[in-house]
Amino acid sequence: MISSGIYDYIDIMGKAADAAWLRETAISQNISNGDTPGYKRQDVNFEGLLQRELGKMKYVSLDEKVSDINKGHMDHLDAEIYTDIENYSYRLDGNSVDPEQEYAELASTRIQYNALIDSMTKEFQRIKSVIK
């Protein structure tokens, strides 16, 4: 099998889009539980996972880093939901959800998701134009 690396960036953008979708789900849960006593805010940390993987390889080009990440089958880039600051709450009922922050995060996440999908579409169009 010949490995050209043509889809390396698309694969990572796909993982990032999956993480953005998961983050939108977590934010929606936060918003719907905004009045639930004791509920703790949840979030997704894909950026930290990706930064850790890219940071392992100093003095290497971005193309080489992305290629090396893809060689590892990218299972280590699967984002997961975590509880944000479990012991912290600014409310008396123990809930740590700030609705204004959640709506801002939701808007930001939707913009990020749409940008990732647009970038992936453009990458596929470039590949398609080369194949023609």
Give the per-residue pLDDT at 101.
92
Contact 23, 44 (CB under 8 A): yes
Q: How many CB atoms sit inside 10 A of residue 1's CB?
A: 2
Phi, psi of 82 (to 5 degrees): -130, 160
Residue 2 lies in a domain: no
Residue 3 lies in a domain: no
Per-residue pLDDT of the chain (132 residues; tens, 9 = 90+): 345 567 778 888 888 999 999 999 999 999 999 999 989 999 998 888 888 777 776 777 766 767 766 666 666 778 888 898 777 777 888 898 999 999 999 999 999 999 999 999 998 898 888 887
Residue 97 lies in a domain: yes
Residue 1 lies in a domain: no
- Domain holding 79, by residue range, is 8-131
Residue 39 lies in a domain: yes
Of 4, 43, 39, 11, give the one whose Cα is nearest residue 27: 43
Tell me how many domains the chain contains. 1
Of 30, 33, 52, give the one whose Cα is nearest residue 41: 30
Give the per-residue pLDDT at 21.
95
